[in-house]
Amino acid sequence: QYHSSLQGNSQVFSTDMLHYTNDKLTLMAELRQAISEQQLELYIQPQVDMRSHEVLAGEVYIRWRHPKRGLLTPDSFLALAEEMGVIYPLTQWVLNEAVAMIAKLKQAALVSKIAVNISSKDLLHDELVDALEQLFDKYQVAPGQLILELKESALVAEPVKAMTMLQRLHQLGVELALDDFGTGLSSLAYIRQLPVQYVKVDCSFISDLHKSDMNAAITGAIIDMARNLDLGVIAEGIEEAAVEQKLLRMGCSRGQGFFYSRPFELSGFAVWLKQWQPDKVKLQ
Ligand code: C2E
Ligand code: MG
Ligand code: MG
Ligand code: MG
pLDDT at position 73: 97
pLDDT tens string 74-119: 999 999 999 889 999 999 999 999 999 999 999 999 988 999 999 9
Choose which residue among 236, 239, 247, 259 to substitute to test ligand 1 binding: the one with the highest number of ligand atoms within 8 A of its C-beta.
236
On the question of pLDDT at 6 being above 60, the answer is: no
pLDDT at position 4: 35
Q: What is the mean pLDDT of the chain?
A: 90
Confidence band (pLDDT; 50, 70, 90) for 182? confident
**Rounded distance between C-alpha atoms, residue 112 and residue 144, angstroms:** 10
pLDDT at position 157: 82
Please answer whether residues 86 and 127 qualify as being in contact, where contact means their C-beta atoms are separated by less than 8 angstroms. no
Looking at the CA of 176, name the nearest ligand: 2
pLDDT at position 5: 35
ipTM of the complex: 0.98
pLDDT at position 20: 58
Residue 193 CB burial class (10 angstroms; 0-12, 13-18, ≥19): exposed
pLDDT at position 18: 52
Pocket of ligand 1 (CB under 6 A): 45, 61-62, 73-75, 78, 94, 117-119, 149, 179-180, 203, 207, 236-239, 256-258, 263
Which of 213, 261, 211, 280 shows the shortest CA–CA distance to 46? 261
pTM given for the model: 0.92
